Structure 1
Amino acid sequence: MSRYNIAVLVGSLRKESFNRRLATALARLAPAEFTFKQLEIGDLPLYNQDDDAHQAAPVKRLKAEIQAANGLLFVTPEYNRSIPGVLKNAIDHASRPYGQSAFAGKSAGVIGVSVGAIGTAIAQQHLRGVLAYLDVATLGQPEAFIQAKEGLFDEAGEIGPGSRDFLQKWMDRYVAWIRHHAT
């Protein structure tokens, strides 16, 4: 049986963020041959092109973890109708210097949760545009714009019954996408 290692980039630094909780709960919906590792992005310096020739240790670590992964999962909140700066910073670091992107040829899923009624729809669309430029094959359907409300997570941190079927179908499609495109 093949093993699939998935690098998870959560666009929130808050330890108890809805998106971190979603990333953890989604991983539990995947088959046993899939392992999910949430990558550290909070220790990255601000991206500065002057540093491309001498990338900091956290940047090298991030790039190596992405390169070693069979697929990617982006779980992002929506900040001011776009992706959070910390996530964009991580993407900028891992994709530089030009021609040495850790993302090239990878496949990914994009999902997120927010208290707003439209979930993270606009942030996800912005992120998809960035990922397309970086040669990341991104799962298009089903889209999942999740609103954080009572019952999304149960007391054990699992996906609640009202959202479980939908998110299980999303995960099943994501798993098929990664198996088809795995690097």
Structure 2
Amino acid sequence: MKMIWMQLLFMVVICYSCQAQSGAGRQLKNPYYSRTDTSPLHVSNKEWKKILPGTLYAVAREQATEPAFTGKYWNSTTKGTYYCAVCGNKLFRSDAKFSSTCGWPSFFEAVRPNSVYYREDRSYGMQRIEVQCARCRSHLGHIFDDGPPPTHKRYCMNAVSLDFEPDK
């Protein structure tokens, strides 16, 4: 009986920990998260690892990719603004989002030219352009030349790297 109670307590602690690391809970634990400060951050991966949930750390800091069609924003049509989930930097507006059927949230332009940073990515035997948050240099996804007008760009982003605030 004592073992069952200990297991139950362990499960409650784990569930509470998971909730605290998502959404607003994560933002409260992250001293670098700001939706108004656009100054560049210089934070080590060691420090980010202490702050960020494991899945977000793997994608944002180690350039992992979440599986297609699993992120919470890939097919969302809610109007609002997308922010960097690591630092809060404003990245995309929903009016630049489009259905690309690739399984990840896709946008044809960033909210402002200096909100993202581009870097050559030759991983996995491919030649691509990585898109990073310009404030914290976290991995967001990649950009491709097969998007709709007016830019003909497709910012293919990992949903885990994004926070979303709906319009009011």
Q: What TM-score bracket applies, with the shorter chain setting the length?
A: under 0.3
- Higher share of residues assigned helix: 1
**TM-score normalised over the length of structure 1:** 0.24
**TM-score normalised over the length of structure 2:** 0.25
- Higher share of residues assigned strand: 2
